[in-house]
């Protein structure tokens, strides 16, 4: 790939800081398996896949069940809570729009719905110094523009 889609110019305005800053970040690119998940997030619903063959929950989205090899699934609501599994604190300015945002933590959260359910997301309303493995968090939905919502994680204590 040598060319990129033209990016819309960021709008200046009285938006909340977090939203306006994140609006300039690269957009998620849903694929066939993950598109329904992104649509649910847009509705502020956190979902995971459930195999229709054996009932196993799974995330990230994939086409085949690891347990029974079944190819039929449905999306079901997740509890929206989990525990910090690991995290990185990003200090790198990958693009000019991020210059005022670093450092920022990106969490990997193990959902309370199942051991194998791991989701990434920004830390919301917390500081990197508070992070520890097992810290309870809840999902929050960050509307960055009219078409995109991201999931972040807020500490529960
Ligand atoms: Zn299965």
In the DSSP assignment, the letter for residue 28 is: P
pLDDT digits (tens, 9 = 90+) for 54-65: 999 999 999 999
pLDDT at 22: 55
In the DSSP assignment, the letter for residue 63 is: S
Judge contact between 154 and 126, C-beta under 8 A.
yes
Nearest to 138 by CA among 83, 57, 60, 85: 83
pTM for the complete prediction?
Answer: 0.77
66 CA from centroid of ligand 1 (Å) = 7
pLDDT digits (tens, 9 = 90+) for 18-59: 444 454 455 677 888 889 999 999 999 999 999 999 999 999
d(CA 133, CA 54): 30
User: Burial level of 77, CB count in 10 A (0-12/13-18/19+)?
Assistant: exposed
pLDDT digits (tens, 9 = 90+) for 88-97: 887 776 667 6
138 CA from centroid of ligand 1 (Å) = 27
88 CA from centroid of ligand 1 (Å) = 32
**Alpha-carbon torsion angle 133, 144, 73, 58, nearest 10:** -10
Omega within 30 of 0 (cis) for the link into 107: no
């Amino acid at each position: 790939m040598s060319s990129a889609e033209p990016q819309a110019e960021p709008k200046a305005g009285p938006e909340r800081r977090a939203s306006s800053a994140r609006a300039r970040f690269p957009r998620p690119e849903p694929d066939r398996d993950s598109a329904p998940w992104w649509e649910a997030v847009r509705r502020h619903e956190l979902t995971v896949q459930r195999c229709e063959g054996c009932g196993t929950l799974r995330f990230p989205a994939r086409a085949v069940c690891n347990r029974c090899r079944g190819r039929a699934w449905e999306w079901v609501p997740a509890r929206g809570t989990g525990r910090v599994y690991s995290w990185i604190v990003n200090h790198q300015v990958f693009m000019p729009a991020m210059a005022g945002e670093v450092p920022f933590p990106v969490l990997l959260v193990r959902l309370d719905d199942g051991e194998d359910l791991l989701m990434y997301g920004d830390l919301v309303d917390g500081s990197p110094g508070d992070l520890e493995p097992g810290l309870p968090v809840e999902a929050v939905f960050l509307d960055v523009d009219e078409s995109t919502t991201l999931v972040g994680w807020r500490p529960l204590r």
